Amino acid sequence: MKFNKRRITIWLGFIISAIFLYLALRKTEWVQVISIFKETNYLFLIPAVIAFFADFSFRALRWKFLLIHIKNCRYPNLLSSVFIGFFSNTIFPMRAGEFIRSYFIGVQEDISKVSAFGTIAVERVFDGITVVGLLIFALFFFPITPEIQKILFVAVFFFAGALLVMYGLLFFRNFTRNLLKKIFRLLPEKIAHIGLRTLDSFTDGLMGIKSKQIIPIILLSIVAWTLNASMFFFTGLGMGFDITFPGAIFLTTIIALGVAIPSSPGHVGVFEFFGIMAAGVIGIPKSEAVAFILLGRFLHTITILSAGGFFMAKEQLSLAQLNQQREEETQ
């Protein structure tokens, strides 16, 4: 039964991806897209790829701070684990890379895999807060239209709520945890179970973080996501678009929030839909936006697969081994 449910979940992800990909690419002038690719200055992709690789380098450093209460892990092992984890997320369904990443660092550093996974749950919350915070920052550089006002209101609401929960779990842990558990129990049983399990992983990972580590973790999160936005910024410049850096941040944050929707491996379809939509908001016409996001998607994927493949070869790992581990960890 569990196997059937998992298969249904996987196929549902592919269906969602197909729908979003259709919505993203319909009414595209493909002749114009090809013309844009021909006119692109591909030298700008060099700093774009460097920025994207640096993004992951800072993510590995941030993870070191998140794991420090368990063990002072070696940076090369952290970097390998991060890239192998994202590599796995790109080719395997159900975000299996999170489990593979925690398993791999557990083996490499001889630490609890459950504890390592808990820090990844904390990392995701820091990512969410950082992304929404950067979105709010970027929106101040746009004309305040009714649409921008709505986005800003929702962003501020979630940003303030996330900060409040984080503050409560850091300084009033038991009270906040019990309050959240009561709220989750009001939801349908399956959703409540997932919520409670996520809350337990998150609070376990948060438990060892000291207040003096919060600032470095936040700063590293901001640097990582800013570098992520730099990839789109340089790509846009190479394609001749009049893109500003706040515009690139807006684009990055909308994609980051959009790919939270369950979909196929690599967020196919969802990435393109929200990327093209965000590009339209910052003034890039449809066909140009399609070319922009497809090139950004290519850089995103090729960097992860190349670096992930390199670290897999370095650690003498095969796809078969990763798949076996995925099967075991996601049972």
Alpha-carbon distance of 327 to 306, in angstroms, equals 23
Alpha-carbon distance of 142 to 250, in angstroms, equals 10
Nearest residue to 35 (alpha-carbon basis) of 274, 285, 297: 285
pLDDT digits (tens, 9 = 90+) for 158-172: 888 877 887 787 777
197 has pLDDT over 50: yes
90 has pLDDT over 80: yes
pLDDT of res. 329: 58
**Cβ distance 104 to 226 under 8 Å?**
no
H helices within 68-172, ranges in order? 75-91, 96-109, 113-139, 146-171
Which amino acid belongs to residue 254?
Answer: I
- Quote the tokens at residue 146: 């009714």
Greater model confidence, 156 or 74: 74
pLDDT of res. 4: 66
Contacts of 290 (CB under 8 A, 6+ apart): 24, 25, 28, 33, 272, 276
Q: Which of the four pLDDT bands, split at 50, 70 and 90, describes residue 8?
A: confident
Greater model confidence, 319 or 84: 84
- Quote the tokens at residue 122: 């904390």
3 state SS of 144: coil
Q: Burial letters for 48-78: b for 16+ Cβ neighbours within 10 Å, e otherwise? A: bbebbbbbbbbbbbbbbbbbbebeebeeebb
pLDDT digits (tens, 9 = 90+) for 213-253: 888 999 999 999 999 999 999 999 999 999 999 999 999 99
Q: Which of the four pLDDT bands, split at 50, 70 and 90, describes residue 328?
A: low
**Cβ distance 263 to 13 under 8 Å?**
yes
1 has pLDDT over 50: no
Please state whether 267 falls in left (phi above 0), alpha (psi between -120 and 50) or beta: left
pLDDT digits (tens, 9 = 90+) for 121-131: 889 889 988 99
Alpha-carbon distance of 204 to 202, in angstroms, equals 5
Structure-token match 């409560």, residue found: 168
- Quote the tokens at residue 68: 């420090």
